[in-house]
Amino acid sequence: MNILILGSGGREHALSWKISQSPLLKKLFIAPGNAGTESHGQNVALDISDFQAIERFAIKENIDMIIVGPEDPLVKGIHDYFLANEKLKNIKIVGPAKQAAMLEGSKEFAKKFMWENNIPTAAFKSFSKDSYKDACQFLKTMSSPYVLKADGLAAGKGVLILDDYEKACDELSEMFAGKFGAAGSRVVIEQFLEGTELSVFVLTDGNSYVLLPEAKDYKRVGEGDTGLNTGGMGAISPVPFADSTFIQKVKSQIIQPTMEGIKNAGMNYKGFIFFGLISVKGDPFVIEYNVRMGDPEAEVVIPRIKSDLLDLFSGVCEGNLDKKKLELDGRTVSTVMLVSGGYPGLYEKGKPITGHNEVEKSIVFHAGTKIESGQIQTNGGRVMALSSYGKNMKEALERSYDSAGKIQFDGVFFRKDIGFDL
Ligand code: AMP
Ligand code: GLY
């Protein structure tokens, strides 16, 4: 098969790394990719929201399957675009169609879906600009901390958690005034849930699903889970508290009703479902759906998949996923993300990176990197993820930190306490 992966982060490097090992692969392209994906396939300079450019490339290179890394092209309807065109119908898309992608593209849509399908989630109400007064009234009926969520995609920044009622009303007013652009023209206000978060992933063909390894990611920039939210500073899989009793609850109370809801709504869902969960006294609740793999979760989940991922993706696209077998690696995988100084605020790019070739105990997944005159340089906030296997969490993390110490670039920073709470 000729494969095109869309995206340029650590997740897409992990996908390329895995797919390049498949005997089913003929040629692999990554658009736009990074300095790491280049060692598994050919990077192509395509804008991933320019569907016409992707179409032309896919026809020219006889692409059989497009694997969509990030949510944006899915929410914009790339799957529907390919289905609607007679010439493109045979090109398989891993990633749901537009209506299903709303599960990530609109918090309000996702919350209503959960409510209608009896899926445990925080109580909520949604409001638009012209109901600001009602929204503040509703906030008054909730207790602190107050959770405000911009309805639309806001690059992971659209959720605010505030202790003070007055401050929450002020923020609400700013959201309606355009703080998050159009994403905040509707806002979901929800009950705060106290518990421990983890992420569960499935691959589905819309009918059946396979349960992938769960993971925990560390979103805050600072040690002890402090400071600003980032895309993710590290991750671990498996998650020790997600024992078989807990996973059984996730399957019966969350995954199965989600699958039923998808079928009943007639959604075309082929791809990953990412369940952002919180365990409240041992019971799982959904915080959010994402319609793609997580990043850096992919950098710990994909290395734990022993089966041929391309064969699983074929099952997803052809609707016979129930015939495929999923084999997992029982070891722990940890990843530690090296980021640019200043991230998640302002940071500089173009810093030369050294030492990555001396890493022996980890897989170096590139995220924000590029090659410039033969030299590998930083090209984003999250630069490289160091994923390591271990017989337990301690061993995996020791290896990731040993590798992290070997890599240098101006301003390099990483969290030293990944896994501290497990
Ligand atoms: P989201 O973008 O929906 O994943 O929200 C970002 C982060 O906000 C989550 O990872 C949680 O840490 C936190 N969060 C969101 N909703 C809630 C909630 N209802 N209760 C507690 N924390 C929440
Ligand atoms: N690491 C969180 C995400 O990919 O959404």
15 plus 77 within the same structural domain: yes
CA of residue 156 to ligand 2 center, whole Å: 8
Torsion of CA 36, 62, 69, 114, to 10 degrees: -160
Please state the atom number of ligand 2 nearest to the C-alpha of residue 297: 1
Choose among 11, 76, 5: nearest CA to 43.
5
The Cα 368–Cα 338 span in angstroms is 10
Angle between helices 107-116 and 98-105 (to 10 degrees): 100
pTM of whole model > 0.75? yes
If residue 87 lies in a helix (H) or strand (E), which one and from where to where?
none
146 plus 184 within the same structural domain: yes
85 plus 129 within the same structural domain: no
Domain hosting residue 71, numbered range: 2-95
Asked if 214 and 235 touch (Cβ cutoff 8 Å), the reply is no
Tally of domains in the chain: 2
Pairing of strands 65-68, 2-7: parallel
Per-residue pLDDT at 252: 98
31 plus 91 within the same structural domain: yes
pLDDT averaged per 10 residues, the chain (length 422) = 98 98 98 97 97 96 98 97 91 97 95 97 91 88 90 83 89 86 86 95 97 96 92 96 97 98 97 97 96 98 98 97 96 98 95 96 98 95 98 98 97 96 87
Per-residue pLDDT at 183: 85
Give the 3-state DSSP-derived string for 108-134, with helices as H, strands as E and coil as C.
Answer: HHHHHHHHHCCCCECCEEEEEHHHHHH
Residue 309 CB contacts under 8 Å (≥ 6 apart), including other chains: 15, 18, 19, 22, 302
The Cα 206–Cα 202 span in angstroms is 11
Per-residue pLDDT at 358: 96
Per-residue pLDDT at 154: 83
Does 365 fall in a domain?
Answer: no
**How deeply is 325 buried, as exposed, middle or buried, from its count of CB atoms within 10 A (0-12, 13-18, 19+)?**
exposed
> Nearest residue CA, atom 2 of ligand 2?
294
Per-residue pLDDT at 93: 97
Does 144 fall in a domain?
Answer: yes
Per-residue pLDDT at 209: 97
> Nearest residue CA, atom 5 of ligand 2?
294
> Nearest residue CA, atom 11 of ligand 1?
287
Residues with CB under 6 A from ligand 2: 217, 231-232, 290, 294-295, 297
CATH of the domain at 42: 3.40.50.20
Please state the atom number of ligand 1 nearest to the C-alpha of residue 107: 3
